[in-house]
Amino acid sequence: MPVQFTPQFLHAEMNDEDERESQFVCSFVNSTVQQCGLIEYKKTWPSRILPLTCCKDSVDSHLYKYSISRRSIDSESSLLKIRAGLFEEDDDTLTICPKHRFALGVGWRPSTLCSIGWKCTNSKSNLKGTITKEQSIFLKKYHHVLLGIGSGVCSRCRKELVQRMADKENRVEPNPSSSMNSNCNVEASESTNAEFIMEETKEEISQIDGYGEVTQCKQTVQGAKKAAFLQIDEENLQTNCLSMDSMDDCISESVYSQSSQYSEWQDSQESPSRKRKMSLNSFLETVDISPVKKTLTVDFDLASERTKNDYVRKAKRIMHSVLGILVPQQESLFEEVLYESNAYKDQTLESFSKAYSSMSSWGTQRQILSLLVQDYSYNQLKDYIPDLSRYKFSSARKHAEVVGVGKPVLQKKQFREKATIQQIENFLEFILSPAIMTDSPFGECTYKISSGITLKVPKIILNSVRTRTVTLYLKYCEETQNADILSERTYMRLLEAIEPNVRKSMKGLDNFAADGSQAFDNLKSVVMTLGKGGKGQEWAEKISKQLMEGK
């Protein structure tokens, strides 16, 4: 009889499933489109939700692959939190499931298109850089777009993003709570147009140019005054000003008092970096050098070569102008003293480059590179050593940390001992038995061992071929239940090292047995001759039988 489920039972089952699903929810479920779950690729990870502080796996290779600076990411937990856009959250209050840990961590993959698409419309343009932590925070805060750190971006969109960040940093927001102070107290119940015009006037006066100076809107003020007199009803106007001239003075005084108050507020709100930049631009203007319009917001190592050259050229011009004031007419001499260390470094790198190129052994090259990897970056060494690869640079850095800076590479010889001494002794004891091998009555063999000593031993002869000897030994081990044996090929190599002569048939090089048999045949013929000569046939047969037994 089939089991029938009641509605109450089905409702209880659904509630249990919902409760289990609600329990398996981490803090990152609202930050991504993926649901919480497990991952099959990482079997070593626990199959449960963990605190974010427990995520301590190494992400160095992942950061290097996507050109992410290690200064902004110090652990796996910080990488997961920044990728999810949880910039202000505390690590101790967050939890994460294995699926989100893999998707936001080492399993994260960027798109091949530009992630911003402001200037390239997400086309397959050449991606020149990646999104940094500061840029990701800026896009989330001001553009409400979350782009994971490490996402690709083209050069045009990257330039636009850097410009927007610089503009946002340089822009100073006016204080919205500030109000216009005026000596004229105007109350107009039906003069909405006049109030609107005065608001526009106040906003235009509050505008700031690129250097933070208050823009003087004199014409706008005059237009506002005329519009105010046209729109304000004289019947509803209550003023403390007694004449038109006093009204003009009141409005002008109010506008310019607002400007002065805003300027004072702005000076107090400017950041120290902004003030230093303005002071530097003032100095550059006096020495006929273009002002600093932008600052470097990315790591210098990750910047393009063109950007690096621009900043280096700008810094040299500024330094030359400073030296012209500090040591007049001696700028070149003082620059040589300042840049002497750089020239010395260049000569040092050239010397090491020649030494590196002259070495053919990778061990010696790694020893030379270990002297440089801690003081120079990969790009700096690449200029002097063109064939330098990332692998060689990393190997030299590892050599400097593990073995030591400049220390020789340890050449360890590895020996593989397949045959033990006991196994060899058992085989030699078997083949040297009289049933397998016999000594030759003449001749000797010369053996030269590994120590250089030469040994002379009597020549030995195998009673059977080498393959047959090895087969007999394996059969002997099987009968004696000796499982400590080697392969047939190893035993054949041992016989080749001993170099015994092999007993052959009646004709051959080693035929002493055949010569001995020939002697017995000669004696038998002599006995037969003597039997015919008088000894008799019976005597001859008796002696021949004894000779055959002796043979």
Residue 411, in any domain of the structure: no
Q: Which tens digit of pLDDT belongs to each residue from 440-469? A: 666 677 767 677 777 777 777 777 788 888
Residue 395 and residue 460 in one domain: no
Query: What range does the domain containing 228 cover?
Result: 192-233+246-269
Q: What is the distance between the alpha carbons of residues 159 and 152, in angstroms, rounded to a whole number?
A: 13
Q: What is the distance between the alpha carbons of residues 359 and 307, in angstroms, rounded to a whole number?
A: 36
More confident: 265 or 144: 144
More confident: 345 or 241: 345
Residue 309, in any domain of the structure: yes
Residue 167, in any domain of the structure: no
Residue 414, in any domain of the structure: no
Contact 458, 443 (CB under 8 A): yes
Q: Any idea which of 179-183, 364-368, 446-450, 504-508 has the lowest mean pLDDT?
A: 179-183
Residue 251 and residue 297 in one domain: no
Residue 141, in any domain of the structure: no
Task: Over range 156-178, report the average pLDDT.
Answer: 72
Residue 318 and residue 394 in one domain: no
Q: Which tens digit of pLDDT belongs to each residue from 344-369? A: 566 778 888 888 888 888 888 888 88
Indicate the DSSP class of residue 57.
-
Residue 284 and residue 314 in one domain: yes
Contacts of 472 (CB under 8 A, 6+ apart): 436, 464
Max intra-chain CA distance, the chain: 187
**Amino acid letter for position 306:** R
SS3 sequence of 224-255: HHHHHHHHCCCCCCECCCCCHHHHHHHHHHHH
Q: Any idea which of 125-129, 178-182, 365-369 has the lowest mean pLDDT?
A: 178-182
Residue 521 and residue 491 in one domain: no
Instruction: Please list the residues that pair with 456 across neighbouring strands.
Output: 446
Residue 382 and residue 428 in one domain: no
Q: What is the distance between the alpha carbons of residues 351 and 375, in angstroms, rounded to a whole number?
A: 15
Contact 211, 281 (CB under 8 A): yes
User: Based on the structure, what is the number of domains in the chain?
Assistant: 6
- The 3-state DSSP class for residue 60 equals helix
Residue 493 and residue 520 in one domain: no
Residue 161, in any domain of the structure: no
Residue 262, in any domain of the structure: yes
Residue 355 and residue 388 in one domain: yes
The span from the first CA to the last CA of the chain, in angstroms, equals 97
Whole-model pTM above 0.85? Answer: no
Helix (H) or strand (E) holding 311: helix 305-326
Task: Over range 485-498, report the average pLDDT.
Answer: 83
Q: What is the distance between the alpha carbons of residues 322 and 334, in angstroms, rounded to a whole number?
A: 11
**According to the model, what pLDDT value does residue 245 have?**
44
Mean pLDDT, all residues of the chain: 72
Structure token digits, residue 50: 């963990």
Residue 439, in any domain of the structure: yes
Q: CA dist 10 to 7, 17, 21, Å? A: 5, 11, 17
Structure token digits, residue 240: 């403390």
